[in-house]
Amino acid sequence: MSSVAIMQPYFLPYIGYFQLISAVDKFIIFDDVSYINRGWINRNRILLAGQSDMVTLPLNNASQNKAICELSLVSAPLWRRKLLRKVEEAYSKAPHRQEVCVLLESILQFGSDDLSAFLVNSIILVNRSIGISTPLVHSSRVYENSQLKGESRIIDICLIENATDYLNPIGGTSLYEKHVFAEKQISLKFLDSAPREYKQYGNDHVPWLSILDVMMFNGFEGTHKMLGEFRLK
């Protein structure tokens, strides 16, 4: 038996993304699909003064007419320093601030402006920190099936990988039909992340923020322990 998941690369996504990575044998980075304006590809939410606030990676000529793997980051180092400083100040009293800010600085120092490569590297570094060893694969480099769309392309990748199980976040229940996958001897399962409150700054808990927030208050080891807190449906 072999399981895969296929998702666009996101910037420091919420813990459910990493639960999905940890739950499968191979994780496919879907980077040759269209960029989504105002989505989660180059931005995410952190906790600032008790409320959610956005951090964003600036892009050159971003357009929904381009694939993610065709986009690049703005080269100027200033935004990287500003982003790091914003996170450092937002989490100045978080118990695991030092180790997480060291990780974030390493992520921001990546030596290429290629958006897909930057995002994949950031996911790899977080994976290493919280104990995930699942291999990652760029769809743009392997499958040569970008002419296929939607469910057909997902199934084709599963067949190429000889996957018996395909896992998708619970939000995909409106996109995919289990019987269509079953016709190809693939079991479609949906990962439903369990709501998890943890102590932030004594305010009401703000859920589903970037993995940065989870690590800031729980550390790498504590975050690792949360990876199994989900149900498959």
The pairing of beta strand 3-7 with beta strand 51-56: unpaired
DSSP output for 131-155: T----EEEHHHHT--TTS-HHHHHH
- Segments of the chain with pLDDT less than 50: none
pLDDT value at residue 103: 98
Asked if 19 contacts 227 with a C-beta cutoff of 8 angstroms, the reply is yes
Residue 116's Cα: distance from chain center in Å?
12
Q: Which amino acid is at 116?
A: S
pLDDT value at residue 118: 98
Question: What ranges do the domains of the chain cover?
Answer: 3-232
HSE at residue 230, side-chain half, CA atoms within 13 A, is: 24
pLDDT value at residue 203: 77
Cα gap 156→226, rounded to integer Å? 32
pLDDT value at residue 36: 93
Residues in the chain: 233
Asked if 52 contacts 22 with a C-beta cutoff of 8 angstroms, the reply is no
> What does residue 95 show for φ and ψ, rounded to 5 degrees?
-65, -25
Task: Tally Cβ neighbours within 10 Å of residue 88.
Answer: 16
Q: Which helix H or strand E contains 7, and what residues bound it? A: strand 3-7
pLDDT value at residue 152: 95
Cα-based distances in Å from 47 to 108, 144, 187, 208, 218? 19, 40, 37, 10, 14
pLDDT value at residue 202: 81
